[in-house]
């Protein structure tokens, strides 16, 4: 019987999910003494989460840039991992990717988006990437040179991390755990004023939209919204890890295309090794191919 990569990937996703959120074991279950790591990776793990043992590199970039420093280490992480494995962590380690795939398994089928709509929507995450980097950089310049103070004040919570308020990782692993932990410990929710209530309601609305979107469209967040996915995809197009399509084994049946949650037209790409900036290297296509025409390839 042929080994299915998805079994290994599911195990890796599940382990990663608990490792990234390991501080929950300090607070509500075993009262361990796990310390947060300084290592940050290109996955969506909120820097504001009370249960995160690791931080997402994009959160670190926003905070570092907004404080007037150049995020050299974060950029090095992206360059190295992007060159080696492209967007593989999106489908193998990212908690938000794991949640989206769990929803996809519940739904049981991959919904196709019209090619025109799909192609246009792919631009959205690059726009989000550019805007958030622009805001963080200009805030950083404001801090460093002590200028544009009114601009920084007008941004308010957006100044430290413009993407924090909209990212589901910040809500799922930041806002919600904090409220739950306060409720468990019976502490007064003194920080909640009228503004905070509106902010919490806004975040819950965003979270609701997120779940509706990922149910309607497979991996909606990874496809169209995630800025770290956009950033890693730039390097993923040239990464060492890719896919190999065999000329002698491929019958050009559409099973690999049907299995792809990122809606990549695999059969349009040349024989041999190829990369695609939207490919998250989940290898669903490899598992779907009965003729073993598709295989992972490194380098």
pLDDT of residue 2: 66
Q: Is the pLDDT of residue 179 over 80?
A: no
pLDDT of residue 278: 96
Average pLDDT over residues 252-269: 95
Instruction: Identify the residue with better confidence: 162 or 34.
Output: 162
Q: b or e along 115-144 (b: 16 or more beta carbons within 10 Å of the residue's beta carbon)?
A: eeebeebbeebeebbeebbebbebbbebbe
Q: How far apart are CA 240 and CA 39, in angstroms?
A: 23
Average pLDDT over residues 22-42: 73
Q: Which of 24-33, 34-43, 142-151 has the lowest mean pLDDT?
A: 24-33
User: What is the four-CA torsion angle of 12, 267, 84, 55, rounded to 10 degrees?
Assistant: -50
* In the chain, domain spans: 5-108+125-235, 242-297
Average pLDDT over residues 190-214: 79
* SS3 annotation, the chain: CCCCHHHHHHHHHHHHHHHHCCCHHHHHHCCCCCCCCCCEECCCCCCCCCCCCCEEHHHHHHHHHHCCCCCHHHHHHHHHHHHHHCCHHHHHCCHHHHHHHHHHHHHCCCCCCCHHHHHHHCCHHHHHHHHHHHHHHHHHHHHHHCCCHHHHHHHHHHCCCCCCCCCHHHHHHHHHHHHHHHHHCCCCCCCCCHHHHHHHHHHHHHHHHHHHHHHHCCCHHHHHHCHHHHHHHHHHCCCCCEEEECCCCCCCCCHHHHHCCCCCCHHHCCCEEECCCCCCCCCHHHHHCCCCCEEEECC
Q: Is the pLDDT of residue 194 over 60?
A: no
Q: Which residues face 243 on adjacent strands?
A: 274, 296
pTM as predicted: 0.89
pLDDT of residue 193: 53
Q: Is the pLDDT of residue 1 over 70?
A: no
Q: Is the pLDDT of residue 189 over 70?
A: no
Percent of the chain whose predicted confidence (pLDDT) is above 70: 92
Q: Is the pLDDT of residue 188 over 60?
A: no
Q: Which of 98-102, 108-112, 178-182 has the lowest mean pLDDT?
A: 178-182
User: Is domain 242-297 in CATH 3.30.70.20, yes or no?
Assistant: yes
pLDDT, tens only, 70-81 = 999 999 999 999
Residue 84 token pair: 């080696």
Q: Which of 3-12, 74-83, 155-164 has the lowest mean pLDDT?
A: 155-164
Where does the pLDDT of residue 115 fall: very low under 50, low under 70, confident under 90, or very high at 90 and above?
very high
pLDDT of residue 257: 96
| Mean pLDDT, the chain, whole residue set | 89
pLDDT of residue 79: 93
Average pLDDT over residues 102-112: 91
Burial of 34: CB neighbours in 10 Å, binned 0-12, 13-18, 19+: middle
Q: Is the pLDDT of residue 162 over 70?
A: yes
pLDDT, tens only, 41-54 = 999 988 888 788 88
């Amino acid at each position: 019987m042929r080994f299915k990569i998805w079994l290994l990937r599911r195990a890796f996703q599940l382990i990663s999910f608990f490792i990234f959120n390991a501080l929950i074991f300090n607070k509500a279950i075993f009262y361990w003494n796990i310390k947060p790591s300084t290592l940050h990776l290109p996955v969506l793990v909120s820097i504001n989460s009370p249960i995160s043992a690791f931080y997402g590199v994009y959160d670190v970039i926003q905070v570092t840039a907004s404080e007037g420093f150049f995020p050299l280490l974060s950029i090095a992480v992206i360059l190295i991992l992007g060159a080696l494995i492209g967007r593989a962590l999106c489908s193998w380690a990212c908690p938000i990717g794991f949640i989206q795939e769990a929803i996809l398994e519940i739904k049981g089928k991959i919904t196709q988006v019209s090619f025109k709509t799909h192609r246009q929507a792919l631009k959205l995450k690059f726009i989000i990437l550019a805007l958030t980097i622009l805001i963080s950089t200009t805030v950083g310049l404001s801090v460093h040179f002590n200028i544009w103070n009114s601009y920084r004040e007008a941004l308010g919570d957006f100044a430290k991390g413009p993407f924090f308020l909209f990212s589901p990782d910040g809500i799922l692993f930041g806002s919600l755990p904090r409220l739950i932990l306060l409720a468990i410990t019976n502490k007064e929710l003194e920080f909640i004023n009228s503004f905070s209530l509106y902010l919490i309601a806004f975040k819950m609305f965003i979270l609701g939209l997120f779940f509706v979107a990922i149910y309607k469209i497979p991996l909606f967040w990874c496809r169209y919204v995630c800025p770290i996915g956009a950033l890693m995809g730039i390097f993923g197009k040239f990464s060492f890890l890719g896919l190999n399509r065999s000329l002698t084994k491929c019958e050009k049946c559409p099973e690999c295309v049907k299995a792809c949650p990122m809606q990549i037209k695999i059969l349009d790409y040349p024989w041999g090794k190829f990369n695609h900036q939207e490919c998250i290297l989940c290898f669903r296509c490899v598992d779907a191919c009965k003729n073993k025409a598709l295989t992972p390839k490194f380098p």
